Amino acid sequence: MAKARIGLIGLGVMGANLALNIAEKGFPVAVHNRTTPAIDAFIAGAGDLADRLVAAPTPAALAAALAPPRAIILMVKAGAPVDATIAALRPHLEPGDIIIDAGNADFNDTRRREAALREAGLAFVGMGVSGGEEGARHGPSIMVGGTAQAFAPIAGIVEAIAACYNGASCAAHLGPDGAGHFVKTVHNGIEYADMQMIAEIYGLLRHAEGRPPARIAALFDEWNGGPLRSYLVEITAKVLAASDPETGLPMVDVIHDCAGQKGTGRWTVIEALRLGQSVPAIEAAVGARVWSAAKDLRLAGEAVLQGPDPTQAGAGLLDADLERALLAARVIGYGQGFSLLAAASGEFGWQLDLVRIAEIWRAGCIIRSALLDDIASAFADPPPGGSLILSLHFAQVLSGNTGALRRVVARAVQAGMPVPVLSAALAWYDTMRRARGTASLIQAQRDFFGAHGFERVDRDGGGYHGPWGG
Ligand code: 6PG
């Protein structure tokens, strides 16, 4: 039998769809899964593509089905299962072989694995893949990290299976070791912020304005034809239009209001803080998921905590303001994500190309949106401090739309509706547009209680102290 071009381990939803995508693009794939019956079932269900799939019941069989240098994609659960899979594979590999982790790995793990395998003569590629089930099957956005030599033998396959935007592949080699997985993590952080700000706008329309989901669906659908055009706004319209076949109720009403999270949003925030950065819109979105899951506490809170009743207070909001508020907050969410990418790039020496990242996010991934073309253009002429919101284009977008964001946040606060991401985005914007803030008082307090010293505006150097003692 002819050798397969690439191997894949892990036939869960993402792995199975990625294997079919690769096979469809003409590359024979050897597939392995920890539970072997799943391999035969997968190939039996692959239809016309089955003859491009090779069953590999063991890691040894997988290695034997591939010609060196072997390239093997792992699509297994992040964390310990990745290490266990690598350990099972290693005895069957030879120097020059390439392991590609296509899961949502913590980039710190990717750096560790890459270094350890490189020492053993093996190549390791950390590959962020976005687009969910549909993307994996028909074209995801792919963010690659690893050495250029490790990527070269698989570049043709990776570029062929990725989504296309205006004829260009939405796959790119972005930097060494953990660069690809870091970019994917930040992608997910932006995803969290975007999803939460959409949910906050929905909440205002639903609970303060009292609109039924079907009408809100129509509004999101309309917005999807304008500057908010994006996958997340598009699916929000579809979700809100859906009814539960069993009860006939709006589907959104029969779903528990406790959000799950697998960790990438939280990692974005943790890594931002480690880098001495802050991404408040993303932080607020992670926090909102945490509090959504604290159902018992919120039930207890509803019984005792007083405040305005949104159904009585009404928000009195204009649809156009909500659309503009969402646009402004979305720009801010992206802006924070890209600033974090720039900070990590400096810290780890990755030389991330922000233009390229914006370009490969234009199709295939969950945060694809009409804004990404403009973001790519904005970074082509680097804005002051590499900050998206300071680019000429987005400074204008924000000047034109933050008035609406301000009105929406103000009305939400008055109506007693929580809008953590919208308000965090606005607070950050207001922070960034004031050259002189209030930290002189923080410095004075630090000096007062800890003699930490401060710098004066009228002299050079630091180490000054205030007249606190007497
Ligand atoms: C993607 C998604 C995906 C992620 C899910 C769930 O880009 O395709 O980001 O990778 O796993 O969206 O993430 P949470 O469970 O953390 O919400």
CATH number of the domain that residue 317 is part of:
1.10.1040.10
Identify the residue whose tokens are 């979700």.
239
Of 184, 200, 283, 359, the catalytic one is 184
Identify the band that residue 435 occupies on the pLDDT scale cut at 50, 70 and 90.
very high
Over the stretch 352-376, which tens digit does the pLDDT of each residue have? Answer: 999 999 999 999 999 999 999 999 9
**Do residue 194 and residue 160 come from a single domain?**
no
Residue 41 in any domain: the answer is yes
What is the number of structural domains in the chain? Answer: 3
Residue 213 in any domain: the answer is yes
Atom nearest to 192 CA in ligand 1: 17
Number of residues assigned to the chain:
470
CATH assignment at residue 462:
1.20.5.320
Residue whose C-alpha is closest to residue 348's, from 148, 192, 181: 181
Task: Kindly state if the Cβ of 323 falls inside 6 Å of ligand 1.
Answer: no
Mean pLDDT of 123-152: 97
Task: Kindly state if the Cβ of 185 falls inside 6 Å of ligand 1.
Answer: no
Q: Ligand 1, residues 13, 191, 192, 290: which to mutate, most atoms within 8 A of Cβ? A: 191
**Do residue 61 and residue 197 come from a single domain?**
no
Helix axes 371-380, 392-415, angle to 10 degrees: 130
- CA–CA separation, 269 and 259 (whole Å): 17
Strand order in the sheet with 71-74: 53-55, 29-32, 6-9, 71-74, 98-101, 123-130, 141-145, 171-175
**Do residue 29 and residue 141 come from a single domain?**
yes
Identify the band that residue 332 occupies on the pLDDT scale cut at 50, 70 and 90.
very high
More confident position, 406 or 314: 406
Single out the residue in 136, 151, 177 at which a domain terminates. 177
Over the stretch 375-421, which tens digit does the pLDDT of each residue have? Answer: 999 999 999 988 999 999 999 999 999 999 999 999 999 999 999 99
Single out the residue in 177, 205, 240 at which a domain terminates. 177
| Residue 384, preceding peptide bond in cis (omega within 30° of 0) | no
What residue numbers bound the domain in which 394 lies? 185-432
Helix, strand or coil, per DSSP, at residue 350: coil
Tokens of 76: 């297994």
Predicted local confidence at residue 2, as pLDDT: 65
Residue type, 106: D
C-alpha R_g of the chain = 25
Predicted local confidence at residue 470, as pLDDT: 61
Residue 49 in any domain: the answer is yes
Residue 144 in any domain: the answer is yes
DSSP string, 57-73: SSHHHHHHTBPSSPEEE
**Do residue 165 and residue 288 come from a single domain?**
no
Identify the band that residue 317 occupies on the pLDDT scale cut at 50, 70 and 90.
confident
Mean pLDDT of 304-316: 83
**Do residue 389 and residue 291 come from a single domain?**
yes
Residue 357 in any domain: the answer is yes
**Do residue 389 and residue 423 come from a single domain?**
yes
**Do residue 150 and residue 275 come from a single domain?**
no
Residue 19 in any domain: the answer is yes
Asked whether the predicted pLDDT for residue 80 surpasses 90, the reply is yes
* Closest C-alpha residue for ligand 1 atom 10: 130
Task: Kindly state if the Cβ of 12 falls inside 6 Å of ligand 1.
Answer: no
- CA–CA separation, 290 and 287 (whole Å): 5
Whether 77 is catalytic is: no
**Do residue 149 and residue 197 come from a single domain?**
no
Residue type, 304: V
**Do residue 144 and residue 288 come from a single domain?**
no
Asked whether the predicted pLDDT for residue 1 surpasses 60, the reply is no
**Do residue 277 and residue 305 come from a single domain?**
yes
Q: Helix H segments across 100-178?
A: 107-119, 132-138, 148-161
Mean pLDDT of 40-65: 97
Identify the band that residue 469 occupies on the pLDDT scale cut at 50, 70 and 90.
confident
CATH assignment at residue 62:
3.40.50.720
**pTM value surpassing 0.85:** yes
Task: Kindly state if the Cβ of 104 falls inside 6 Å of ligand 1.
Answer: yes
Q: Rounded mean pLDDT of the chain?
A: 96
**Do residue 79 and residue 141 come from a single domain?**
yes
Residue whose C-alpha is closest to residue 401's, from 371, 368, 379, 378: 371
Asked whether the predicted pLDDT for residue 73 surpasses 80, the reply is yes
Phi, psi of 18 (to 5 degrees): -65, -40
Residue 249, Cβ density class (10 Å: 0-12 exposed, 13-18 middle, ≥19 buried)? exposed
Percentage of residues in the chain having pLDDT higher than 90: 97
Residue 212 in any domain: the answer is yes
- CA–CA separation, 119 and 138 (whole Å): 35
- CA–CA separation, 113 and 98 (whole Å): 12
Residue 1 in any domain: the answer is no
Single out the residue in 156, 177, 198 at which a domain terminates. 177
- CA–CA separation, 287 and 275 (whole Å): 20
Of 159, 191, 200, 271, the catalytic one is 191
**Do residue 242 and residue 346 come from a single domain?**
yes
